[in-house]
């Protein structure tokens, strides 16, 4: 039985309405998008690539020039080191003052030579006009960054060169060396641009601080939107009732279309949902996973399938849990979850942010033109709230939960049985010498589990390698115990 066969849960009209009316359900979302290329951008992608190449050529040319003098620099530094040792040795030996004075004079002269060499090859706008001009063009015209004080820019490059021995690449220079220089201007660019374009948010309640609490609107920089693009923007809403969030999403999508904003596979549209915690509402992560219907989510967002930023349940959560027996089923249904290992990895489609606060992030939606799919987004957001509500209510859909867990038990046991039969067959067909007693035991095991396979004939063996290894180890224990090894 395939996982997708029991990851099915349709929402009724009444359940849909209940989610929208539930005042204890709060939600927020993260819009990731690019502003239209006409918005302060005067360089096309092809022109940018050409600028990158030219800048890198200039860097290599300058590194060759500096490299020609690298040997001279190393020789002078070695001589300076030897003279410094000689001077200190003479002082320690209480040598004749004339000898000490001569050594000090030699050391001072050599230090002057080293200082002159450093000054001679110090980086500056005057020494590298073409390289810096290209970098500034890339930064200012394509990324809408003003590098500001040239001295600060020079110092960053100068420090890098004498730490690493060469001029940094254009990419490193923009993304690493001057990252702090650009950070404040980058935030102001996004803020001013969005405000000038009347982005629909509360401008009296907005921050650049990604760590601010959920009461704020946030304009932040997402690393996935940085490379080879015009101004990429991430806007995070505060937490609000789900019906209000849906209205907000509609307003933002209309604004994005009006201003020709665009999205591609690098853009996610993540939704956070939480349910007010009480003694009667505690999220059961296993129940949540089994009621999330990935097939519905992927139907309109196919580009998110196999996306590393939103991994499927089949690649993570459902291959961690091991409810092999009816006893484990009873433990799950009785809320005895202490033995369950929860995957809190951020890049899961279902990101379990804070189980103590019933806070979950759903990362399934996004990719190209997601802003044109409001109807699908609306349904999915309500589904998110519905699935979390199911997972937080121990009695809600209890029978369906038991059935879904039972299906997992059947699947794991079916896969385990197939693995066990295959392992026994390999032993019987192998070249190792086996005693009559061992052969009798192995044949008996083989017949027993081979018969059981008829019950699992439709079992899908496609399973995560980590879980398959666990099942293989469990099968090995059965064989070892039977043989009395």
pLDDT per residue over 254-268, tens digit each? 999 999 888 888 889
Question: What's the confidence (pLDDT) of residue 326?
Answer: 52
Q: What is the mean pLDDT of residues 195-203?
A: 90
At residue 272, φ and ψ (nearest 5 deg) are: -100, 135
Residues 309 and 378 in one domain: yes
Residues 379 and 440 in one domain: no
Question: What's the confidence (pLDDT) of residue 245?
Answer: 97
The pair of three-digit structure tokens given for residue 179, joined into one six-digit string: 């990252």
CA distance 243 to 22: 9
pLDDT band at 173 (very low <50, low <70, confident <90, very high): low
pLDDT band at 477 (very low <50, low <70, confident <90, very high): confident
Residue, of 228 and 444, whose pLDDT is higher: 444
> DSSP label at 364?
E
Q: Residue 186: inside a domain, yes or no?
A: no
Percent of the chain with pLDDT over 70: 66
pLDDT band at 134 (very low <50, low <70, confident <90, very high): low
Residues 300 and 383 in one domain: yes
Residues 234 and 371 in one domain: yes
What is the value of pTM for the model shown? 0.63
Q: What is the mean pLDDT of residues 364-375?
A: 94
Residues 24 and 101 in one domain: no
Residue, of 194 and 72, whose pLDDT is higher: 194
User: Which residues are CB-neighbours of 273 under 8 A, at least 6 positions away?
Assistant: 25, 26, 27, 242, 359, 360, 361, 362, 384, 385, 388
Q: How many domains does the structure of the chain reveal?
A: 3
Give the end of a domain, one of 179, 213, 232. Answer: 179
Residues 218 and 318 in one domain: yes
Residues 213 and 272 in one domain: yes
Question: What's the confidence (pLDDT) of residue 72?
Answer: 74
Residues 305 and 327 in one domain: yes
Question: What's the confidence (pLDDT) of residue 178?
Answer: 44
Question: What's the confidence (pLDDT) of residue 1?
Answer: 34
Highest mean pLDDT among 103-117, 128-142, 154-168: 103-117
pLDDT band at 130 (very low <50, low <70, confident <90, very high): low
Residues 358 and 468 in one domain: no
CA distance 399 to 92: 88
CA distance 442 to 214: 61
The pair of three-digit structure tokens given for residue 177, joined into one six-digit string: 């060396």
Lowest mean pLDDT among 92-106, 149-163, 258-272: 149-163
pLDDT band at 438 (very low <50, low <70, confident <90, very high): confident
Residues 359 and 278 in one domain: yes
Give yes or no for residue 211 having a pLDDT over 70.
yes
Q: Residue 190: inside a domain, yes or no?
A: no
Q: Assign residue 288 a region: left if phi > 0, alpha if psi is -120 to 50, beta otherwise?
A: alpha
Shortest CA distance to 388 belongs to which of 364, 415, 369, 361? 361
The three-point CA angle 264-374-366 to 5° equals 30
| Helices (runs of H) and strands (runs of E) counted in the chain | 17, 8
CA distance 59 to 401: 62
Q: What is the mean pLDDT of residues 353-362?
A: 90
Q: Residue 188: inside a domain, yes or no?
A: no
Q: 């580009």: which residue's tokens?
A: 303
Q: What is the mean pLDDT of residues 466-484?
A: 80
Instruction: List, in sequence order, the alpha helices (H) in 350-397.
Output: 374-391
* CA 193 to each of CA 208, 209, 225: distance values in angstroms, whole numbers, following the listed order: 14, 18, 17
Question: What's the confidence (pLDDT) of residue 462?
Answer: 64
pLDDT band at 120 (very low <50, low <70, confident <90, very high): low
The pair of three-digit structure tokens given for residue 234, joined into one six-digit string: 């991430």
Q: Residue 185: inside a domain, yes or no?
A: no
Give the H or E element holding residue 29: strand 25-34
Shortest CA distance to 463 belongs to which of 407, 425, 404, 411? 411
CA distance 416 to 410: 10
CA distance 120 to 68: 13
pLDDT in tens, 285-327: 888 888 998 888 888 898 888 887 888 876 655 554 444 455 5
Percent of the chain with pLDDT over 90: 19
Shortest CA distance to 284 belongs to which of 321, 325, 326, 241? 321
Lowest mean pLDDT among 11-20, 154-163, 274-283, 393-402: 154-163
Q: Residue 191: inside a domain, yes or no?
A: no
Where in the sequence is the domain holding 124, given as residue range(s)?
45-179
At residue 332, φ and ψ (nearest 5 deg) are: -65, -45
Question: What's the confidence (pLDDT) of residue 371?
Answer: 96
* CA 13 to each of CA 10, 17, 19, 131: distance values in angstroms, whole numbers, following the listed order: 10, 6, 10, 62
Beta strands 217-220 and 206-207 are parallel
Highest mean pLDDT among 62-66, 200-204, 398-402: 200-204
Contact status, residue 412 vs residue 471, Cβ threshold 8 Å: yes
Residues 217 and 350 in one domain: yes
Highest mean pLDDT among 99-108, 223-232, 248-257, 349-358: 248-257
Q: Residue 342: inside a domain, yes or no?
A: yes
Residues 295 and 392 in one domain: yes
Q: What is the mean pLDDT of residues 359-365?
A: 94
- Burial classification of residue 471, based on how many CB atoms lie within 10 Å of its CB (0-12 exposed, 13-18 middle, 19 or more buried): buried
């Amino acid at each position: 039985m395939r996982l997708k066969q029991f990851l099915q849960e349709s929402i009724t009209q009444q359940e849909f309405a209940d989610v929208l009316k539930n005042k204890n359900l709060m939600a927020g979302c993260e819009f990731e998008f690019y502003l239209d290329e006409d918005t302060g951008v005067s360089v096309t992608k092809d022109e940018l690539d050409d600028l990158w190449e030219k800048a890198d050529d200039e860097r290599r040319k300058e590194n060759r020039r500096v490299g020609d003098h690298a040997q001279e620099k190393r020789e002078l530094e070695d001589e300076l080191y030897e003279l410094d040792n000689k001077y200190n040795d003479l002082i320690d030996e209480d040598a004749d003052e004339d000898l000490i004075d001569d050594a000090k004079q030699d050391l001072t002269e050599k230090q002057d030579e080293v200082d002159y060499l450093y000054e001679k090859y110090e980086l500056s706008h005057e020494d590298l006009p073409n390289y810096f001009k290209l970098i500034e063009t890339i930064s200012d015209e394509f990324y809408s960054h003003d590098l500001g004080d040239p001295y600060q820019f020079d110092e960053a490059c100068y420090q890098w060169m004498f730490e690493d021995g060469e001029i940094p690449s254009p990419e490193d220079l923009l993304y690493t060396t001057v990252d702090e220089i650009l950070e404040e201007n980058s935030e102001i660019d996004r803020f001013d641009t969005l405000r000038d374009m009347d982005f629909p948010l509360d401008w009296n309640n907005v921050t650049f601080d990604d760590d601010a609490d959920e009461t704020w609107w946030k304009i932040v920089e997402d690393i996935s939107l940085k490379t080879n693009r015009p101004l990429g923007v991430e806007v995070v809403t505060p937490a609000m009732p789900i019906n209000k969030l849906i209205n907000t999403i509609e307003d933002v999508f209309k604004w994005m279309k009006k201003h020709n904003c665009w999205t591609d596979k690098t853009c996610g549209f993540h939704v956070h949902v939480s349910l007010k915690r009480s003694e009667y509402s505690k999220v059961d992560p296993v129940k949540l996973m089994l009621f999330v219907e990935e097939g519905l989510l992927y139907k309109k967002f196919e580009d998110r399938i196999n996306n590393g930023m939103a991994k499927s349940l089949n690649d993570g959560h459902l291959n961690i849990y091991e409810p092999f027996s009816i006893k484990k089923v009873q433990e799950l249904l009785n809320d005895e979850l202490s033995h369950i290992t929860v995957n809190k990895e951020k890049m899961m489609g279902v990101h379990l942010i804070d189980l103590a606060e019933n806070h979950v992030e759903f990362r399934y939606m996004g990719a190209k033109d997601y802003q044109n799919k409001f109807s699908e987004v609306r349904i999915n957001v309500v589904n998110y709230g519905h699935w979390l509500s199911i997972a937080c209510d121990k009695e809600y859909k209890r029978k369906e939960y038991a059935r879904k867990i039972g299906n997992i038990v059947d699947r794991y046991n079916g896969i385990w049985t197939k693995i066990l039969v295959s392992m026994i067959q390999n032993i019987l067909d192998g070249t190792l010498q086996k005693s009559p007693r061992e052969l009798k035991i192995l044949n008996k095991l083989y017949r027993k589990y081979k018969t059981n396979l008829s019950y699992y004939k439709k079992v899908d063996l496609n399973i995560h390698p980590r879980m398959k290894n666990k099942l293989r180890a469990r099968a090995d224990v059965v064989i070892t115990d039977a043989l009395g090894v």
